[in-house]
Copies of this chain bind each other. A is one copy, B any other.
Amino acid sequence: MQNRTYTADAEPGDTVTVAGWVHEIRDLGGIAFIIVRDTTGKIQVKFEKDEMDDDLVETGLGVNRESVVEITGDVKEEPRAPTDVEIVPTEVEVVAAAEPELPLDPSGKVDADLSTRLDNRTLDARKEDVEAVFKIRGEVLRSVREQFRELGCSEINTPKIVATGTEGGTELFPITYFGEEAFMNQSPQLFKQLMVGSGLERVFEIGPIFRAEEHNTPRHLNEATSIDFESAFYDHTEAMDACESVVKAAYEGVAQNCQDELDALGVDFEVPEGDFPRLTYEEAIERINATGELDEMLVWGDDLPTEGEKALGEDVGTHYFITDWPSEIKPFYIKDHDDDEELSTGFDMMHPRMELVSGGQREHRYERLVDGFEQQGLDPEAFDYYTKMFKYGMPPHAGWGLGGERLIMTMLGLDNIREAVLFPRDRQRLSP
């Protein structure tokens, strides 16, 4: 649209044309106001009924809320207006009239349940706080990618239609691919590993992953965004350093570039400072046991139950790592310590509320990798496309996957992970 002025840029003395949605209509009798909202903010438009052209007044005040209008007029100072300025209109055009009954109220005055909101995401994301989440989400992706580039990574895109899953345990969505059985990829794990053995050496990918898990919790999605990193010649400690730097970069980017959005959300935002503590698994279970929050004491070899993670998170109070897990509870493609085969180089990176990252040094030795598939009950032949590359000079390497929505959810204190996705997919929801 030629000559459009954003509401935030309208200065007293200007003649402007603003375009946006009718946020509110207030008719006080002789005088009436409409508030026009666009992506930058809101502005008041004043109608003095006796002094203005009847057609103009009728058009401006006859409109339904959430209709799209273009309004031309002069900007005046007005201390009583919400933004200290108002427009005195000379032209009003209704570009797209809204029906009088709305399925939800974008002014935010009337609450709607999450399901109604997701069914009407267009209207829902007109709300300042919802819009803010998704602007922040964009900034998180931007600053994460910038940090990957600082780390010397090449961006890769790996296929989402695959012949085999990454792991045995997690459920896969089956596809019919030209008559063949195929699946939607649950992780770029195998592909990013293949690329650290190429000339790229250090790579990242941000893309969708698909998990047919029957979870139905506020922190699981069936389609999610995975932020993946993998580097040749890195061990697990170097991978943790990279992980910490990426998470901090996300917070720093948001702090620097999204102050208005944080204000709209009313979030008490702090960039994590200092090194993330690195607890061994053994220390973690001791500290969990010491909290007394669990009915039964954890012993070596137990996976950490959700309540255990929660108790530990409250105890630690910051992002932290858990390292040196028992090998038997980490995936077979994670390397064990050279001096103790019972101990894995796998690590998790935790927010006090939940796990964000899973990573480790990878098994790069062909024979051991193939053994690992067998021990996991998988047919190594089905993964031949992957394992055979380990026969031709696969460097030691390490990496991790970070849940994009969990990062945003914990950063902004969102109750439900679905608040961090425009169109979430779960067992009940396939549309829109």
Nearest-neighbor residue (CB-CB) of A179 within chain B: B427
Contact B68 A393 (CB under 8 A): yes
Which residues does chain B contribute within 8 Å of A173, judged by CB atoms?
Answer: 161, 175-177
Contact B184 A175 (CB under 8 A): yes
Is A350 an interface residue, CB under 8 A from the partner? Answer: no
Contact A208 B210 (CB under 8 A): no
Interface 1/0s, chain A 95-110, versus B by CB < 8 A? 1111100110000000
Question: What is the oligomeric copy number?
Answer: 2
Is A35 an interface residue, CB under 8 A from the partner? Answer: no
Is A174 an interface residue, CB under 8 A from the partner? Answer: yes
Q: Which residue among A134, A198, A392, A423 has the maximum number of chain B CB atoms within 10 Å of its CB?
A: A392
Partner of A21, one of B200, B388, B393: B393
Q: Contacts A234-B1, A392-B66: A422 and B157 contacting too (C-beta < 8 A)?
A: yes
Partner of A233, one of B4, B163, B222, B386: B4
Contact A176 B174 (CB under 8 A): yes
Which residues does chain B contribute within 8 Å of A160, judged by CB atoms?
Answer: 160, 184, 208, 210, 223
Interface residues of A in 220-236 (CB under 8 A from B): 222-223, 225, 233-235
Which residues does chain B contribute within 8 Å of A11, judged by CB atoms?
Answer: none
Which residues does chain B contribute within 8 Å of A103, judged by CB atoms?
Answer: 388, 392
Interfacial residues, chain A to chain B (CB-CB below 8 A): 1, 4, 19, 21-22, 37-39, 66-68, 95-99, 102-103, 119-128, 130-131, 134-135, 137-138, 141-142, 145, 149, 154-164, 173-178, 180, 182, 184, 190-191, 194-195, 197-202, 207-208, 210, 212, 214, 222-223, 225, 233-235, 238, 364-365, 385-386, 388-389, 391-396, 421-425, 427, 430-432
